[in-house]
Amino acid sequence: MAAANAIDGAFVAAERGLDAAFGARANPLRNLGTLAFFLFWVLAATGIYLFITFDTSVEGAYASIEALTTKQWWLGGVVRSVHRYAADAFVAATLLHLVREWAAGRYRRFRAFSWISGVPLLWLMYASGIVGYWLVWDARAQISALATAQWLDATGLTAEPMARNFVGAESVGDRLFSLFAFLHIGLPLALLGGMWIHVQRIGQPRTVAPRALASAALAMLLVAALLHPATSQAPWDPLQLPATIELDWFLLFMHPLMEATSPAVLWALTGGATLLLVALPALLPGPKPVAAVVDPANCNGCARCTVDCPYQAVLLVPAPGVRTGRQVEVIADRCAACGLCAGACPSSTPFRSTETLAAGIDMPDADVQRQRVKLEAALARIAQATAGRIIVFACAEAANAAALEDARTALLDMRCIGMLPPSFIEYALRAGADGALLVACREGECRYRIGAELTAQRLAGERQPILRKSVPRERLRMVALAAGEEDDLVAARDALRRALDALGPAPRLRPKRDASAERTARGHA
Amino acid sequence: MPRRGATAILRGVLAWGAFGALIVMLSHAPSIAPLPEGAAMLQVSIAHAGVRLAPCRRLSAEELAVRAPNMRAPEICPRGRSPVRVTVTLDGRVLLDETLAPSGLARDGTSSLYRRLPIPAGEHRLTVRVIDDLRRPAHAFERSATLKLVPGRVLSVDFKPARGGIVLS
């Protein structure tokens, strides 16, 4: 675990360093999976052009690619090079993505499905890339095809060595190239299907790269293609091997590894690594989160929680006994206990008139009733002050807000800022606070992916449940700061206080806890 | 453009440039040598079914009578085949001597072998011997040749009875 923590720390430092250049949304390190998706589409687009011009025959394969590279270097050559470098970048992005998720511990429990479903993608990625090299049918293809055949032969599943298919000119026929082309199309299609499955347990997955990220990646590929065009090795010759061969270490590193060891060792390494990756969620499961629970009596089936859940843990199901009714259901194994569903629930409001609050969906250990009690206690603590009273709603994963507490500042901490229903802000401003400071994780570092984003949208009125327009925005600040940025947090609190001092005390309005407020809350659906 | 924007763009260019440089570099280098310097390659690739261990024989009338009517094929052919022994000698030194078991659960398939043997380039005396009936080791296919191999040359050794037995190419 020490290694994971060290690597995680290195990633965090690198991500923050690159934030200064790109911003979190276009930061390639913060969007490795998204980048891989983009590179896949680059590979698909360039691959279509290459396939149109490719001659699937022994005699024509090498020549057609050479013609494309030399006679049409300005288009075909560039497309070929972009295809090659996009494949390498795809491998790099995918492997970095894997290491990043492992180091951050994002493979357990509610993340296990995405983790495990990603493992076969590694095999498909390498198979797709390696077969792509065979299509060139040069000396590199010769080495790669033979090495792969030897590796497969080591399984003992074939009656005759597959390597015999590549030993002499007479053993290689045009149909072999049809097979290669079929594999080089079929395997990436299977990879795409696997990628689709891979993100199925991710709510609002980011599979489309932001324009800035896509543009930068494409520019990098084009510059690489122009500065160092991809070329073929000497043509395939069963009678002669060149003295040296340029190797693509991203995709073909297994060949020299096998040459240095044996096919059995390579099987042990690849098979062992695969089993370890698949077993990792079970080997290191981590603590089990306390899953959200649904209260059907308070659920109107509005489905906001199903949309906002970052891990597809909340489903909409038919309500029992009601023909047209719907209610939500929580799949406990998928639940991260982030509380984003509670933050989205229209019945999760402190304004309701019932003595004991209950929401349609809530966290058993941090329900709306407890939150209102905590909020009222916090407000009571700063009630003696006459102005500049601030209630701080802080994410527990963000910068430590405990140090902010003083006679005019009270804290209500929560496991994710996305857990905060906007009505709590209005309630606080009506019940004694002059201003509210929301502390979210640094952009791109939300432990539950989208908590800060959803909250910002709710405050801006772009996402239900919205913060009502009547709530004075000038008394509200939201900051995104990570642990270690407490000085900035103090500065943000002080800036808000100065603004509040200039504005004067907020008009005092007792929170209405009456039937009309409850109707309003329930009616948001 | 504000100074900070220019700095950010420069950082971005440097970051993507570094990533691109890494991609290009590892996409081409370091090169590998498929063979040691000054070496040629002997590629022994054989797939051959050894002779049947027992010949086909006609069933007697008594044997046929005890069989079900639909199982009365007049001839029975035991499926098992002999392993195949392959020996490769270079300049009097044995490079390869393997006895290959027939494939298949019934041991009735081909015996096969694929080996890559780097050898020094230059002139060599090569002898290949294949025995496809281990009960009669003296009845072997054998071929000897003096070969001059340049560095990087791949000499394939195959066994094709239809083409006279051991084939060097």
- A77, A69 contact by CB (below 8 A): yes
- At B160, phi and psi to the nearest 5? -135, 95
State how far residue B62 is from chain A, nearest Cα, in angstroms. Answer: 38
From A34, A31, A25, A521, select the one nearest A304 (Cα to Cα).
Answer: A521
Alpha helix stretches (DSSP H) within A161-210? 174-198
Question: Model's pTM, two decimal places?
Answer: 0.91
Cβ–Cβ of B26/A250 closer than 8 Å? yes
Q: Distance (Å, rounded) from C-alpha B130 to C-alpha B136?
A: 12
DSSP state letter for A240: B
pLDDT of A129: 97
Q: Distance (Å, rounded) from C-alpha A45 to C-alpha B121?
A: 46
From A277, A240, A270, select the one nearest A255 (Cα to Cα).
Answer: A270
**Which distant-in-sequence residues (6+ apart) come within 8 Å of A336 by Cβ?**
A109, A110, A289, A310, A311, A313, A448
Query: Do A145 and A120 fall within a single domain?
Result: yes
- At A24, phi and psi to the nearest 5? -65, -35
Residue B93, pLDDT > 80, answer yes
A242: in domain: no
Provide the residue type at B67 as one letter. R
Cβ–Cβ of B169/A239 closer than 8 Å? yes
Contacting A with CB below 8 Å, chain B residues are 8-9, 11-12, 15-17, 19-20, 22-24, 26-35, 37, 41, 43, 45, 47, 103-104, 109-110, 112-114, 151-154, 156, 158, 169
Q: Distance (Å, rounded) from C-alpha A125 to C-alpha A379?
A: 56
- Identify which of B12, B30, B154 has the shortest CB distance to residue A239: B154
For B12, the closest chain A residue by CA position comes to A21
- A195, A110 contact by CB (below 8 A): no
Would the CA dihedral through A326, A327, A330, A331 be positive or negative? negative
Q: What percentage of chain B has pLDDT greater than the value 70?
A: 98
A432: in domain: yes
Token pair 């090495």 in the structure block, residue: A147
Query: Do A278 and A299 fall within a single domain?
Result: no
CATH code where residue A53 lies? 1.20.810.10
- Identify which of B9, B22, B28 has the shortest CB distance to residue A246: B28
pLDDT of A177: 87
**Number of cross-chain residue pairs from A and B with Cβ atoms under 8 Å apart:** 127
Q: In what order do the strands lie in the sheet with B122-131?
A: B93-100, B84-90, B122-131, B141-149
Distances (CA, A) of B136 to A463, B81, B113, B132: 86, 13, 21, 9
Token pair 């606070």 in the structure block, residue: A433
Q: How many CA atoms lie within 13 A of A75 on its CB side?
A: 4
Cβ–Cβ of A167/B158 closer than 8 Å? yes
Q: Distance (Å, rounded) from C-alpha A139 to C-alpha A22?
A: 41
- B112, B103 contact by CB (below 8 A): yes
A476: in domain: yes
Strands B75-76 and B57-58: antiparallel
Class (C level, CATH) for B39-52+82-168: mainly beta
For A156, the closest chain B residue by CA position comes to B103
> Most A CBs within 10 Å: which of B3, B7, B11, B24, as the mutation test of the A interface?
B24
Provide the residue type at B129 as one letter. R
Q: Distance (Å, rounded) from C-alpha A253 to C-alpha A235?
A: 21
Q: How many CA atoms lie within 13 A of A238 on its CB side?
A: 20
SS3 A148: helix
Cβ–Cβ of A89/B19 closer than 8 Å? yes
Number of compact structural domains in chain A: 2
Tokens representing residue A361 in the block: 């969906």
Tokens representing residue B62 in the block: 């008594």
Query: Do A298 and A276 fall within a single domain?
Result: no
First to last CA, chain B: 69
pLDDT of A525: 37
Alpha helix stretches (DSSP H) within A54-202? 58-70, 78-103, 112-136, 139-153, 174-198
DSSP state letter for A204: S
> Most B CBs within 10 Å: which of A240, A245, A254, A258, as the mutation test of the B interface?
A240
A241: in domain: no
- Identify which of B32, B112, B151 has the shortest CB distance to residue A247: B32
Query: Do A334 and A264 fall within a single domain?
Result: no
- A456, A477 contact by CB (below 8 A): no
Cβ neighbour number for residue A484 with a 10 Å cutoff: 12
Tokens representing residue B88 in the block: 């490769």
Query: Do A270 and A301 fall within a single domain?
Result: no
Provide the residue type at A243 as one letter. A
Query: Do A124 and A258 fall within a single domain?
Result: yes
Strands A409-414 and B75-76: unpaired
For A20, the closest chain B residue by CA position comes to B8
Q: Distance (Å, rounded) from C-alpha B31 to C-alpha B21?
A: 17
Provide the residue type at A441 as one letter. C
- A108, A285 contact by CB (below 8 A): yes
For B5, the closest chain A residue by CA position comes to A21
Q: Distance (Å, rounded) from C-alpha A292 to C-alpha A64?
A: 59
Tokens representing residue A245 in the block: 């061969």
Residue B104, pLDDT > 90, answer no
Q: Which residues of chain B are within 8 Å of residue A223 when distances are taken between CB atoms?
A: 17, 20
For A232, the closest chain B residue by CA position comes to B28
Q: Distance (Å, rounded) from C-alpha A338 to C-alpha A476?
A: 23
DSSP state letter for A75: I
Write out chain A's pLDDT in tens, 525 residues: 789 999 999 999 999 999 988 989 999 999 999 999 999 999 999 999 999 999 988 889 999 999 999 999 999 999 999 999 999 999 999 999 999 999 999 999 999 999 999 999 999 999 999 999 999 999 999 999 999 999 999 998 888 888 888 887 777 888 888 899 999 999 999 999 999 999 999 999 999 999 999 999 999 999 999 999 999 999 999 899 999 999 999 999 999 999 999 999 999 999 999 999 999 999 999 999 999 999 988 988 899 999 999 999 999 988 877 767 788 999 999 999 999 999 999 999 999 888 889 999 999 999 999 999 999 999 999 999 888 999 999 999 999 999 899 999 999 999 999 999 999 999 999 988 999 999 999 999 999 999 999 999 999 999 999 999 999 999 999 999 999 999 999 999 999 999 999 998 877 666 655 444 444 444 443
Query: Do A487 and A431 fall within a single domain?
Result: yes
pLDDT of A495: 96
Domain that holds residue A443: 293-523
From B44, B48, B140, select the one nearest B88 (Cα to Cα).
Answer: B44
Q: What is the largest CA-CA distance in chain A?
A: 94
Q: Which residues of chain A are within 8 Å of residue B27 when distances are taken between CB atoms?
A: 84-85, 88, 230, 248-250
Rg (CA), chain A: 29
Q: Which residues of chain A are within 8 Å of residue B16 when distances are taken between CB atoms?
A: 28, 216-217, 219-220
pLDDT of A496: 96
- The total number of residues shown for chain B amounts to 169
Tokens representing residue A260 in the block: 């240095």
Cβ–Cβ of B110/A159 closer than 8 Å? yes
Q: In what order do the strands lie in the sheet with A476-480?
A: A409-414, A390-395, A435-440, A476-480
Q: Distance (Å, rounded) from C-alpha B157 to C-alpha B41?
A: 11
From B62, B81, B93, select the one nearest B131 (Cα to Cα).
Answer: B81
Cβ neighbour number for residue A515 with a 10 Å cutoff: 11
Cβ–Cβ of A22/B8 closer than 8 Å? yes
Q: Distance (Å, rounded) from C-alpha B129 to C-alpha B90?
A: 12
Query: Do A112 and A206 fall within a single domain?
Result: yes
- Identify which of A168, A250, A256 has the shortest CB distance to residue B156: A168
Tokens representing residue A371 in the block: 């939150």
Distances (CA, A) of A237 to A182, A231, A247, A316, B142: 23, 17, 17, 61, 27
Strands B111-120 and B39-48: antiparallel
SS3 B158: strand
First to last CA, chain A: 45
Q: Distance (Å, rounded) from C-alpha B148 to C-alpha B17?
A: 49
Cβ–Cβ of B19/A92 closer than 8 Å? yes
Q: Distance (Å, rounded) from C-alpha A371 to C-alpha A493?
A: 22
Query: Do A14 and A160 fall within a single domain?
Result: yes
